[in-house]
Amino acid sequence: MLDNFNFRIIFEYLPLFLNGLKFTFLISLVALFLALITGIIACACRISSIKVLKYPVIAYIEIIRSTPLLVQIYFLYFGLPTLGIRVPEIQTGIIALMLNSGAYIAEIIRAGINSVDQGQIEAGLSSGLNYVQRMRFIILPQALGVTVPPLLGQAIVLVKDTSLLSLISVVELTRSGQTMTSERFMPSEAFLTVAFFYMCIYFCLKALADWSQRKLIFREAY
């Protein structure tokens, strides 16, 4: 099956792969950070009672959730230039990932907040806390414990999703596999190496997610 698997060529191309890995890391980190901010803002709008904020955000979340990420990436990639906005591919990709993950993160946070028992809020009310104080001292500390494992799950999804940016010619891990294939036509060496690197990232994040599921905080809230 793999009798003529050529390790030498992998070592020869290792700098290419490491460069790809570096960009996958960078893109994931930046996109995750921005998506967290987007998600928090979107969630705040989603649970607010102001209709002007609430309904557009609902539309945003539902649209993102029911269309594929690849279509969203192409939409921005081919669409932004027609609006006269010219940005590099990598930024287009990060914006697409940010919008996509932001919607999912908003839903995750909302599920966390909803999981806090109604009685807790009433207890806060009767202790004379205002909305911000209730959020700060009662709801968010409890919601956080429920939110962290699925957020790490979303981080795993986000890292895998960065591979789609290779299709709009952003240089990252999958792209370096494609580059090597087109230069040497050795797809098994190229893509199995790429898969190996993704697996490494996956196992690290998975271990972190499992750990947070076991360890994380505020269990006594249930």
Partner 1 sequence: MMAFYFSRLVEIFPFFLTGLWMTTKVAFISLITCTLIGFILGMIRASNNVLLKRLVGIYVAFARGTPFVVQIFIVFFIFPEWGLQLEAFPAALLAMAIMGSAFVCEIVASGINSIPKGQWESAASSGLSKMQQLRLVILPQSMKVIVPPLVGQYVLLIKDTSVVSVIGVMELTRVGWVTVVRIPEGLMVFALVGVLYFSISYPLILLSNYLERRMAI
Contacts with partner 1 by CB under 8 A lie at 1, 62-63, 65-72, 74-75, 77-83, 160-164, 166-167, 174, 177-178, 181, 187-188, 191-192, 194-195, 198-199, 202-203, 206
In the bound complex, what is the minimum distance in angstroms from residue 216's beta carbon to partner 1? Answer: 19
Q: Which amino acid is at 96?
A: A
Within its chain, how far is the Cα of 177 from the centroid? 22
Nearer to partner 1, 138 or 205 (CB): 205
- Token duo for residue 93: 């990709």
Crossing angle between the packed helical segments 14-47 and 51-66, to the nearest 10 degrees: 140
In the bound complex, what is the minimum distance in angstroms from residue 129's beta carbon to partner 1? Answer: 29
Nearer to partner 1, 44 or 156 (CB): 156
What gap in Å lies between CA 222 and CA 212, rounded to an integer? 16
What gap in Å lies between CA 175 and CA 49, rounded to an integer? 45
In the bound complex, what is the minimum distance in angstroms from residue 176's beta carbon to partner 1? Answer: 12
In the bound complex, what is the minimum distance in angstroms from residue 163's beta carbon to partner 1? Answer: 4
Nearer to partner 1, 28 or 142 (CB): 28
Nearest Cα to Cα of residue 64 among 107, 113, 30: 107
In the bound complex, what is the minimum distance in angstroms from residue 194's beta carbon to partner 1? Answer: 6
Nearer to partner 1, 138 or 155 (CB): 155
The strand ranges marked E within 72-208 are none
In the bound complex, what is the minimum distance in angstroms from residue 94's beta carbon to partner 1? Answer: 17
Nearest Cα to Cα of residue 108 among 16, 32, 198: 32
What gap in Å lies between CA 92 and CA 69, rounded to an integer? 13
What gap in Å lies between CA 13 and CA 181, rounded to an integer? 11
Half-sphere exposure of 43 (CA within 13 A, CB side): 22
Nearer to partner 1, 80 or 216 (CB): 80
- Token duo for residue 118: 């109604």
Nearer to partner 1, 142 or 166 (CB): 166
